[in-house]
Chain A
Amino acid sequence: MKKHSTNHFRTESLSLPSDRPSISDQLKHKTLPANKHFTTFITGWILRSGVILSASITLLGLLLMLIHPGGISEQSLQLFPQTLGQVWLGLMTLQPQAIIALGLLLLIATPVLSVTAALVGFALEHDRSYVVIALIVLATLVMSFWLGKAG
């Protein structure tokens, strides 16, 4: 695992390079070094994937917007999708603002996904106290979102 730390972020593609053992391979063959590295690995991977995917989608939407005639106007700042339903409808018609919104939503979801990844990592490492800690953080996040919606 040590050698990964010298690898470059840039060379990472969305999927794991094939010369590197996948997560399930690592688990199967128990090639994991010190157990604390596994959570780091899986969380880092989720963070990188989330960032690269959301940046690509956002960039695509922005470029579509720019080549679209009259794409940038006062109106486009005022009118944009706000709910998941609106984003979905916009995506069906390949509306640039909806594509950007999808990228942004994915970006917003990335930290939450990374906590989930850490939870899975700690569970696989049988680290009970940190499973509980990660669960409390996730539960609080869900609660705050729910409270925000209700209030």
Chain B
Amino acid sequence: MIHLSLVIILLIFVSAMLAGTLGSLVGLGGGVLIVPLLTLAFGLPIRYAIGTSIVAVIATSSGAAAAYVRNNMTNMRIGLFLEMATTIGAICGAFLAGLLAPASLFLIFGVILLISVIPQVFKIGEELPKGVHNDRWATWLHLGGSYPDQRLGREVSYQVTRTPLGLAMMYVAGVLSGLLGIGSGTLKVLAMDTIMCLPMKVSTTTSNFMIGVTAAASAGIYFARGDIPPLVAAPVALGILLGAFVGARLLSRLSNKTLRLIFVPIMAFVAVEMVLRGLGIGS
């Protein structure tokens, strides 16, 4: 059992701050960073670590979205529209949980994620997507929009393509989070970036808004089960909120290219971690 002291609480706070900064930049909940940190570095039982990571996801999401929604970085319409598929997928995933072996699923999706790293590598030099035209859904639902790019010094308008495929991918992301209890922010960013061809900043900030909503659905259950220890979750939540605030500041100054350079290695890390879990190595 973890031995809590003021020093440990401070250490957790500082690490959570880093996870929050990173998570708010790339649109992930930081669960992939928080769970190994709490279990391996601080010896917290896995059950508490997962419960705490759900709080971490919500803190990253809300802390970042508080800034991003306000400065029009997040596309609320896209976020809500895709969130339909994610939340329904999460329920389906929870039902499938008993029927499928998690180990093989981790392996399958880890490999899929590893393969999706390849197109990302080719996109690394891309600042803004070019030649994207609204499809029928995007026109009907007014999904396109614009965001202020401080780095480029102008308002960038964008269109949205392959909406049905993006929606399907979001459903899969939802099933995965219901099934495996992971935030699946990586898949959300991938769906918006690779499939729907949104600018990177819009993809990560919209994913940030969405992951909190997805996680909130299961957080109540974790709380009632007693999986969220307040003494650990408090420094994590506070650290992440502060980190997310710093990250939100940073994002507007970074270029889409830099953001992608941060995202790709993290995505590869998530993929490798999933493969390892599928093979039964590591936590």
Contact = CB atoms under 8 A, between A and B. Distances in A.
A77 B71 contact: no
Interface in A28-66: 37, 39-41, 43-44, 47-48, 50-51, 54-55, 58-59, 61-62, 65-66
A104 B55 CA distance: 8
A44 B231 contact: no
Contacts, number: 178
A44 B76 CA distance: 10
A112 B224 contact: no
Nearest to A110: B62
Contact of B235 (A62, A101, A130): A62
A140 B81 CA distance: 13
A107 B55 contact: yes
B81 A72 contact: no
A22 interface: no
Given A50-B62, A111-B215, A140-B88, A66 B6 contact: yes
A41 B70 CA distance: 6
**Interface residues on chain B, size class:** 35 or more
Contact of B69 (A43, A74, A77, A147): A43
Contact of A47 (B2, B62, B233, B234): B62
Interface of A: 4-5, 9, 37, 39-41, 43-44, 47-48, 50-51, 54-55, 58-59, 61-62, 65-66, 72-74, 76-77, 80-83, 97, 100-101, 103-105, 107-112, 114-115, 118, 129-130, 133-134, 136-137, 140-141, 143-145, 147-149
12 contacts: A5-B148, A9-B70, A47-B65, A55-B241, A58-B234, A74-B1, A76-B4, A80-B229, A110-B216, A114-B62, A114-B212, A141-B216
